[in-house]
Amino acid sequence: MKHKLIVIMIILVSADCGLTQTGLGVTGTLNYPGFVPSDLYNSRFGLGGGYEFFARHNLIQFGSAIFFHARYNYRKYLNDINLPFTAATRFYFTYLSVSVLCDVKRSNNFNIYTGGGVNLVTINAARDFLKVTETSLIPEVLSGVELYLSKNYNIFAECAVQFGSVPVRDDRIPLTGVRFAIGATMFFIEAE
């Protein structure tokens, strides 16, 4: 599964449709993957924080108004959960993500976008006799707004909803939830 994700990333990076704008960014994030409790023990993750680093580039353009962008994220989050026989346990999440974004409304200094992506998530936790290390693919849909401060800088706010679950002992804990992010991008190359 990891090989397929790497192949998709290589294809997206090598796509060249005349748009060359690329940038790097950083994001501060609130993550709440606890919308749904688990079936067996009714456990759910609490609100947690994290950060992400990403690279993005323009992918393709249709006409003068429809732009698609590719974004590759490295994310780190931590969330606590009360598990039976263990009490409060801190879980660490590491995401490798590929997202495709589409501009919905674009002007010179303002942009509303939507999109979707897939996350390769590695979950780690250790407490008392519990040790969890799991990897899963989790899809997400997202929407956001970005404000261009200049041709080379923007700030943005984004909301994403993810769907999935992770096995912990004999239970399966849902990761279905929401992520709120505020970040900034520095563009190295401007689109023509």
pLDDT value of position 19: 46
pLDDT digits (tens, 9 = 90+) for 126-146: 887 778 888 999 999 999 999
* pTM summary value: 0.82
Note the pLDDT tens digit of each residue in 73-116: 999 999 998 887 777 889 999 999 999 999 988 888 899 999 99
Please state, in angstroms and rounded to a whole number, the distance separating the CA atoms of residues 13 and 15.
Answer: 6
Give the bridge partners for 148, in sequence order.
154
Count of the separate structural domains present in the chain? 1
| Confidence tier at 168 by pLDDT (50, 70, 90) | confident
Cα torsion 19, 25, 28, 33: sign = positive
4 exposure class (CB count in 10 Å sphere: 0-12, 13-18, 19+)? exposed
Confidence of residue 186 (pLDDT cuts 50, 70, 90): very high
What the block records as the tokens of 180 is 């709120």
Average pLDDT over residues 24-29: 95
CATH of the domain at 146: 2.40.160.20
Range(s) of the domain holding residue 12: 2-189
Task: Evaluate whether 123 touches 138 at the Cβ level (below 8 Å).
Answer: no
Give the C-alpha separation, 98 to 88, whole Å: 31
Contact 174, 161 (CB under 8 A): no
